[in-house]
Structure 1
Amino acid sequence: MKILVAVKRVVDFNVKVRVLPDGSDVDTGNVKMSMNPFDEIAVEEAVRLKEAGKASEIVAVSIGGKKCEDTLRTALAMGADRALHIETDVPAIEPLAVAKLLAQVARQEQAKLILLGKQAIDDDANQTAQMLAALLNAPQATFAGKIDIGTDEITVVREIDGGTETLALRLPAVVSTDLRLNEPRFVKLPNLMQAKKKPLEKSTPADWGADISPRLHTLSYAEPQPRQAGVKVANVAELVSALKAAKAI
């Protein structure tokens, strides 16, 4: 079984994101970048499935600028067999455009399982996996906390508001990963060096015949307003009065 894993290069989760003074974009100059944490979980799960003998090949794919190659090398160092970089200068690719490209790749690779992080920490859209499943007309399971592979189907325990839900999906299927699925392994330097020898194929969106032209126009970016200081009250009556004044009750 072949597994396709999508990975995205984002601002590292430890970095405090700042907006440019003119509000035109987020400041990414001299900022540490890394693989999206949820995508890292997806790669780890794919590698574990292969180590368990349930997958034959892992293909990592990323869409973006030249520096996305570093993210793909990390996926290769974790255990992916080969990588595909769809290079584009479009600064912020929308989820639908990403889903269209991934759908084309999935069809060509004939992947039985497509793993993605449930969302990227830069836009928090949580849309790509669902759109991809619709384009492929494939079953989907989002927010996966546990995955079991059978002969022709996959069982996924996913998190919902009321607890957990267990789904059985026929392959091929699309699954998005959540935090509780696993803990990604630490990538050692020798593995990073070996990853440079693994195949990394480059292409462009035009090669896949997908329209990635933006459908949304961002007017401006702004940092969240600072939180206002709290107010101490002497008793319950004052608390109720303050809540009424704030129209909270």
Structure 2
Amino acid sequence: MKILVPVKRVIDYNVKARVKADNSDVDLNNVKMALNPFCEIAVEEAIRIKEAGKATEVVVVSIGDKSCQEQLRTALALGADKAIQIDTAEKLESLHVAKLLAKVVEQENPELVILGKQAIDSDNNQTGQMLAALTSRAQATFASEVIVEGDKLNVTREVDGGLQTIAVNLPAVVTTDLRLNEPRYATLPNIMKAKRKPLDVISAADLGVDLAPRITTLKVEEPSKREAGEIVADVATLVEKLKNEAKVI
């Protein structure tokens, strides 16, 4: 079984994002970038499935300019076998990404696609579902456990009411939640080995996907700062403030 894992280059989660002076976008100059945490979990799960003897190859794919090769090499160092870069400098929307990934799925023909449920920069939580629809594959989102049993997957999903376990037939698309696993660290020998693993570059233009923007960003602003809390003397005062000041009741 071949597993395809899409990954994304994002601002490191320890870094505070800054907005450009003209409020047009987030300022990425001299900012530490990293592998999206949900994508890292997806890579770890794919490697664990391979280590369990249920898969033969793990392929990672990322979309962007040459800089995203750093994150692809990280995934290779974690244990992936091959990497693909879809080269483009365009700012992409979720549907663009899903369509490009659908082309890669068509070319690579993986039985399983595992990707993070969302990227921590845009937080859209859309690409996995769109990819499943475009490729006519079964989907299991928000996975906290994935068990491969022959040509089926038993996936435990994190839902509002608790946990839900479903069975889906392969080929399938799975999106990962935070509690699926604890990603490993890349060792120095594996980092060195990753430099020799294959990394193919494909032009986004060659895939025949229309990347014209459908969404216009009007303005980007930092969240308003939270005001300090206030300790009240009794419940009656709390209710009065919630009603007259906060106006939430």
TM-score bracket, shorter-length normalisation: over 0.9
Which digits, 9 at most, give the CA deviation of each residue in 1:6-51, with x for residues without a partner?
0000000010111111111111111110000000000000001111
Three-state SS of the structure 2 residue aligned to 1:186 is: coil
Whether 2:25 is the aligned partner of 1:7: answer: no
d(CA) in 2 for partners of 1:238, 1:165: 42
d(CA) in 2 for partners of 1:221, 1:25: 6
d(CA) in 1 for partners of 2:24, 2:62: 25
Matches within 5 A, 1:123-142: 123-142=122-141
d(CA) in 1 for partners of 2:130, 2:233: 52
Matches within 5 A, 1:22-37: 22-37=22-37
Shift of 1:241: 1.6
Which digits, 9 at most, give the CA deviation of each residue in 1:164-208, with x for residues without a partner?
111111110000001111111001222111101001000111111
Q: What residue is the counterpart of 1:46 in the other structure?
A: 46
What one-letter code is carried by the residue in structure 1 that aligns with 2:135?
Answer: L
d(CA) in 2 for partners of 1:229, 1:78: 43
Matches within 5 A, 1:1-249: 1-90=1-90, 92-245=91-244, 246-249=246-249
d(CA) in 1 for partners of 2:240, 2:183: 50
**TM-score normalized with structure 2 length:** 0.97
CA RMSD of aligned residues (A): 0.9
What one-letter code is carried by the residue in structure 2 that aligns with 1:95?
Answer: S
What one-letter code is carried by the residue in structure 1 that aligns with 2:127?
Answer: T
d(CA) in 1 for partners of 2:79, 2:68: 17
Which digits, 9 at most, give the CA deviation of each residue in 1:141-182, with x for residues without a partner?
001001111211111011111111111111100000011111
d(CA) in 2 for partners of 1:183, 1:194: 22
What one-letter code is carried by the residue in structure 1 that aligns with 2:140?
Answer: A
What one-letter code is carried by the residue in structure 2 that aligns with 1:12?
Answer: D
- State how many pairs are aligned: 248
Three-state SS of the structure 2 residue aligned to 1:67 is: helix
Three-state SS of the structure 2 residue aligned to 1:142 is: strand
Three-state SS of the structure 2 residue aligned to 1:233 is: coil
d(CA) in 1 for partners of 2:34, 2:190: 17
What one-letter code is carried by the residue in structure 1 that aligns with 2:72?
Answer: L
d(CA) in 2 for partners of 1:82, 1:233: 59
d(CA) in 2 for partners of 1:80, 1:236: 57
Three-state SS of the structure 2 residue aligned to 1:43 is: helix
d(CA) in 1 for partners of 2:237, 2:175: 47
Shift of 1:229: 2.3
The alignment-based identity, stated in percent, is: 61
Which digits, 9 at most, give the CA deviation of each residue in 1:99-120, with x for residues without a partner?
0011111111110000000000
Which digits, 9 at most, give the CA deviation of each residue in 1:214-237, with x for residues without a partner?
110101110000112223322222
Which digits, 9 at most, give the CA deviation of each residue in 1:61-99, with x for residues without a partner?
000111000010011111111110001011x31110000
